[in-house]
């Protein structure tokens, strides 16, 4: 395994725990602020524009087939602020009422709640989201931890118009990042507290093939980190590698699709939470360093995967 350094340029700072970066065609980058509870557009000069106030804890985001931004809202955290300005989430927000999937009209800033339940099961802490080429989307529900309790998480598939949602994998322990392979045939999801990356064959829209026990949710184990790590969100490269943002010893863990850790890019802080690809050749990695509220851009050695409704 290669050990590398994330030497990038600072795009902007002063964000309130940024996550869910989306590199737009005009060179701007959309991010959500989990603590700030907003959707922000970061311009090429680093200036920030508020697109919408979202409430709760917006966590992951993706552009849908209609050009709107779809947001996983985890319902909010409480926060700890260190004396040097470092912020970190701590337990379920005292005013938490549940999680949801929101749709944001980028032109007007209008926000609509598409889903807050799957059947009679309430969404607890939606975390990350990816669209397939058919207009539907997969998302993770990380759950919430509070007092002595922890929810069991799940993966869902839903229609962009709010008409249908189904559970596709359960139980998953604190599922976080989610992505789709270049051929559209494999769904990937990372688990935060276990530091595990899983894969499932996609056999139809919202239909996953499952491995038998002892796989806890039918997934194939792709890999884990070296040492103690907590996994966050992920992005997929055009060649198939899976890039997982990693907490504690912050950085980007890169896995081969067939399994195994290929390389680790060390970040300058422990809360390296998400990665997306942008630029003309999709070889710029935009990475959120959330504890200190930074967005950085890194020249990546390989191209990122074009997203279904964004990078075509």
Tell me, what's the pLDDT at 42? 98
Give 112-170 as a 3 state SS string.
Answer: EEEECEECCEECCCEEEEEECCCCEEEEEECCCEECCEECCEEEEEEECCCCCEEEEEE
Q: Is residue 183 part of a domain?
A: yes
Is the CB of residue 129 less than 8 Å from the CB of residue 82? no
CATH of the domain at 216: 2.120.10.30
Q: Is residue 310 part of a domain?
A: no
Q: Is residue 61 part of a domain?
A: yes
Cα–Cα dist 282/93, whole Å: 36
Q: Is residue 129 part of a domain?
A: yes
Give the position of tokens 């002063």: 14
Tell me, what's the pLDDT at 311? 60
Q: Is residue 309 part of a domain?
A: no
Q: Identify the DSSP state of 74.
A: -
Cα–Cα dist 285/266, whole Å: 14
> Token pair of 189, please?
């999801």
> Token pair of 49, please?
């524009």
Tell me, what's the pLDDT at 280? 86
Measured in Å, how far apart are the chain's first and last C-alpha atoms? Answer: 32
Q: Is residue 111 part of a domain?
A: yes
The domain tally of the chain equals 1
Domain range for 146 = 2-299
Q: Is residue 64 part of a domain?
A: yes
List the pLDDT tens digit at each of the 312 positions of the chain. 899 999 899 999 999 999 999 999 999 999 999 999 999 999 999 999 999 999 999 999 999 999 999 999 999 999 999 999 999 999 999 999 999 999 999 999 999 999 999 999 999 999 999 999 999 999 999 999 999 999 999 999 999 999 999 999 999 999 999 999 999 999 999 999 999 999 999 999 999 999 999 999 999 999 999 899 999 999 999 999 999 999 999 999 999 999 999 999 999 999 999 999 999 899 999 999 999 999 999 999 999 999 999 865
Cα–Cα dist 184/202, whole Å: 7
> Token pair of 4, please?
């590398």
Q: Is residue 34 part of a domain?
A: yes
Tell me, what's the pLDDT at 1? 85
């Amino acid at each position: 395994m290669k050990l590398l350094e994330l030497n990038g340029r600072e795009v902007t700072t002063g964000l309130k725990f940024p996550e869910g970066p989306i590199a737009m065609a005009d060179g701007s980058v959309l991010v959500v602020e989990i603590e700030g509870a907003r959707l922000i557009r970061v311009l090429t000069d680093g200036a920030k524009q508020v697109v919408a106030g979202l409430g709760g804890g917006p966590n992951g985001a993706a552009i849908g087939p209609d050009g709107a931004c779809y947001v996983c809202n985890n319902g909010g955290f409480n926060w700890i602020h260190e004396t040097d300005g470092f912020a970190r989430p701590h337990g379920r927000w005292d005013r938490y009422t549940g999680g949801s999937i929101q749709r944001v009209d980028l032109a007007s800033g209008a926000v609509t709640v598409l889903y807050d339940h799957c059947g009679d099961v309430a969404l607890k802490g939606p975390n990350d989201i990816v669209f397939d080429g058919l207009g539907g989307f997969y998302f993770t529900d990380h759950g919430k931890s509070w007092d002595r309790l922890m929810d069991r998480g799940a993966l869902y598939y839903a229609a962009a118009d709010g008409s249908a949602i189904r559970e596709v994998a359960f139980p998953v322990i604190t599922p976080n990042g989610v992505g789709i392979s270049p051929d559209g045939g494999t769904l990937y999801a990372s688990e935060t507290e276990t530091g595990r990356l899983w894969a499932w064959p996609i056999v139809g829209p919202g239909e996953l093939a499952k491995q038998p026990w002892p796989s806890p949710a039918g997934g194939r184990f792709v890999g884990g980190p070296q040492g103690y790590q907590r996994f966050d969100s992920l992005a997929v490269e055009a060649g198939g590698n899976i890039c997982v943002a990693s907490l504690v010893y912050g950085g980007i863990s890169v896995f081969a699709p067939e399994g195994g850790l290929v390389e680790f890019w060390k970040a300058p802080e422990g809360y390296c939470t998400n990665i997306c690809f942008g630029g003309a050749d999709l070889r710029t990695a935009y990475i959120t360093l959330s504890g200190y509220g930074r967005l950085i851009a890194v020249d990546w050695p390989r191209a990122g995967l074009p997203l279904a409704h964004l990078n075509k």
